[in-house]
Structure 1
Amino acid sequence: MLVTFAVAYGALAGLLLPRAVYKLAVPAGENWRALCPAGHPAQAWLGLPHCKNCATENRTAPCARRWYGPPAPVVALITILMCGALAYTTEPRPELAVWLLITPILVLLAWVDVTVHRLPDVLTLPLTAATLLLLGATALLPNAGGSWPAALSGALALGGGYFVLFLISPRSLGFGDVKLAVALGAMLGWYGWRTLALGAIAGQLLAAAFGLGLIALRRAHAKSAIPYGPFLICGTVVGMIAR
């Protein structure tokens, strides 16, 4: 029953994300998108990116599209898988509500990072604050499966570790990754140092495997930049499932 609810929640949340991805996936320094690809107003932030104005225009006109943005079924499927896996692993504990609330934001961040190699502060900073505050409140509830001091320590450890990596090699790691690592460190640290280590190592291994795969396919070279956020997020989910 719990997993079924998480899957249904993930499907609904995932279908609300494509419009936000489209509006937020812009290069640094540019304003969030306020128009559809054909130039019509696109004011709403959540939902399927469908333009009614484009639907009424001649379909043969340049740039006239009713649907735009990322493929909604793929976004929804990723959200479903993450929510379902976390629900199955966490079981009926109060922190599951925190994981379900955070998951759509993580999917949104990952998709934006893949699209434009960027993790916007408008998402990472509130995510970090919300994660720490919600886990602090969750620790006061009965049957909580983790520790808020451990979550705080994990946030400092993972965020600090990635900050050092950023200082060493700022070309291969963005500061947005450092800010994301703080929130992910809190999630992993909630369950202790072993889970934190599992998640951190899994993220590094997934990023390395992806980079080596691109090099093997001759689609990148050793100094090519890759979006690191999705691997941090995937590593976190792997660590929480494998704990």
Structure 2
Amino acid sequence: MPIALALIGALLGALVPPVAYRLSVPYGEPARSACAACGTPLRWRPGRCPACHARLGPPVWLTALLGAVTFGTLTWALGPVPVLPAFLVVAALGVLLGAIDVACHRLPDPVVALGVGLAIPLLGLAGPHLLVRAGLGALTMAGGYLLLALLPGANLGFGDVKLAGLLGLLLGWLGWPAVLLGALLPHLLNGPVVLVLLLSHRVRRDTALPLGPALLAGAWLAVVAIGLSSRYLR
């Protein structure tokens, strides 16, 4: 089962680049319909612009690999449980959100809202008695990151706050240890990356960096850790 779903994840991941390229625009601007370099109308095909050969979105192999790894490991960690579809749906959207955030430092509200709109009913079907805890997890994560975003000099955006709420929904369904891990791991992951970038003079102390990928990676690691401990250490 993990291998089969990893293949599905790879297929969905391979579809991400053209969508991510269209949505990687500054706040308030409409989605792209043409190549930013030469104006050639876009097609729903990953790769490069047929006219100027500019890259249209992230490499297909990278998003396919991310989709395969997340789908495979989540299935392995959680097992064939009714709640698995909710986690896989958010994982697929997470690959898209991460690609957009890296490209333009944005986490589009419609994509995050789609994740919430799909996750809530899927979680409800899997275990309606746990929805209250899932909601509290979402409020805890979103509230914590909102406080961080309001601190002077913070580089957090409100897109990060909303994404934290979505991820907190899933982590809360698993339990409070998952919420705690999901809240702490992004900073443990992001810190070394920022340090390396600073030491290599690729960024400055005041450079805004995307936090979305670290949020997503931290939540993924938290789910895998809690899932494996629940399955094999009890």
TM-score w.r.t. length of structure 1: 0.86
For the residues of structure 2 that align with 1:118 and 1:221, how far apart are their CA atoms? 20
What do the CA deviations read for 1:188-229 (whole angstroms, capped 9, x no partner)?
111100111111111111112211221122222332211001
Q: 1:5 maps to which residue?
A: 4
Using the alignment, how far apart are the partners of 2:154 and 2:27 within structure 1? 15
After superposition, what is the alpha-carbon deviation per residue over 1:19-53, rounded to whole angstroms, capped at 9, x for unaligned?
10110111223221101343232264xx52566xx
Which protein has the larger Cα radius of gyration, Structure 1 or Structure 2? Answer: 1
| Structure 2 residue 53 is matched with structure 1 residue 32 | no
How large is the RMSD of aligned CA atoms in angstroms? Answer: 1.9
Aligned ranges 1:125-140 → 2 under 5 Å: 125-140=113-128
CA separation of 1:183 and 1:24: change in aligned 2, threshold 3 A: same
Give the whole-Å Cα distance in 2 for the aligned partners of 1:25 and 1:92. 35
Aligned to 1:70: 58
**Structure 2 counterparts to residues 157-176 of structure 1, below 5 A:** 157-169=140-152, 171-176=154-159
Which of the numbers 197, 215, 233 marks the counterpart of 1:232?
A: 215
Q: How far did residue 16 of structure 1 move?
A: 1.0
- The structure that is helix-richer by fraction is 2
1:242 offset after TM fit, Å? 1.0
| Separation of aligned partners in 1, 2:130 and 2:220 | 18
Task: Identify if the C-alpha distance between structure 1 residues 5 and 222 changes in structure 2 by more than 3 Å, giving closer, same or farther.
Answer: same
Paired residues of 2:138 and 2:168 also in contact (CA < 8 A): yes
Q: After TM superposition, which residue ranges in structure 1, 4 or more long, deviate above 4 angstroms?
A: none
Work out whether 1:185 is the aligned partner of 2:168.
Answer: yes
- Aligned residues of 1:38 and 1:65 also touching (Cα < 8 A): no
Partner Cα separation in structure 2 for residue 65 and residue 83 of structure 1? 31
Which sections of structure 1, spanning at least 5 residues, go unmatched?
A: 55-62, 141-145
For 1:15, the equivalent position in structure 2 comes to: 14
Using the size of structure 2 for normalisation, the TM-score is: 0.89
User: Is residue 2:82 matched to residue 1:84?
Assistant: no
Which residue among 88, 93, 107 is the counterpart of 2:95? 107
Answering whether residue 199 of structure 2 is matched by residue 216 of structure 1, we say yes
Identify the residue that residue 84 of structure 2 maps to in structure 1.
96
